[in-house]
Amino acid sequence: MLNKEYNCRLILEEFADNPFLPLFYQDPERFAFTVELFFMTERHEQMERLLMNRDLFNDFTVADYTFTKTLLFASKNLNNEKFRLFQKMFNVLNQSLPKPDIMVYFHRNVDILLQNIKSRGREFEKNITGDYLTQIQNSYFEYFRNILSFPILIIDLNAIDFVNNPEHYDQVKYLMSKKYSPGVHRISLVI
C-alpha cells in the first residue's frame, strides 16, 4: 500500500521457497540449523541485490522484514553451540547491508497472530504455538531495547485494521511520516 502512494521500492520477504520449512515444522531439532541457514542466505542475497542497487525512480525502500529477523528466529530455534556458529556467519553478512533510517514494528497479540496463521491455512504452519510466537515477540522487543542508532516505532494494531479501513490507514501513515529521535517509540492508536 505504502509503496504505491509514496513511490518507494518494496521488498517483500520470499519465504515460501524454503524447502526445509515444512521439515522444520515436523522435526524442529533436526532441521533448525538448515532452515535458518537457508533463510539467512536467501534474505541476505535478496537484501543485497535490492538495496545495493540504487533505484533512481524510487525515493526510498520499504521492506516487510529486517535482516536481523534471521538472528532473532535463530536464537529461539538453535541450541547454543549451533547458534554461536550461526551468529558468526550472520555478523559477517550483516556488515555489508545498510542500516535502516527507521524501523516500524506492527504489533499484534499472540492470539490474533494464531488466528491469522490458521486462516492462511498453510499446512506446515499448523503446529506453531502461542508460546513460540511469544518467544519470538520477546526477542524482537529485546533487540529493540538495544538499538540506539535509529528510531523504532512499535505500533499496536490490536484494535485497528489499516488494510481494510482507510481512516486507520491514514493514522498509521501519519505516524510513520513524523520525525522521531533514535530509540523505541511505543504507539497505541485510539479509535
Grid cell for residue 108: 499484534
Range 75-82 contact pairs with CB under 8 angstroms and sequence separation of 24 or more: 75/139, 76/132, 76/135, 76/136, 76/139, 77/24, 77/28, 77/32, 77/35, 77/36, 78/32, 78/33, 78/36, 82/32, 82/33
How far apart (Å, rounded) are the C-alpha atoms in residues 171 and 160? Answer: 10
How far apart (Å, rounded) are the C-alpha atoms in residues 101 and 181? Answer: 11
How far apart (Å, rounded) are the C-alpha atoms in residues 104 and 152? Answer: 6
Is the pLDDT at 16 greater than 70? The verdict is: no
Grid cell for residue 43: 534474505
Q: What is the pLDDT of residues 58-106, one digit of tens each?
A: 667 888 899 999 999 999 999 999 999 999 999 999 998 988 889 999 9
Domain locations along the chain: 1-98, 103-191
H/E element, 70: helix 68-77
Q: What is the pLDDT of residues 117-161, one digit of tens each?
A: 999 888 778 888 999 999 999 999 999 999 989 999 999 999 888
Which pTM value belongs to this model? 0.84
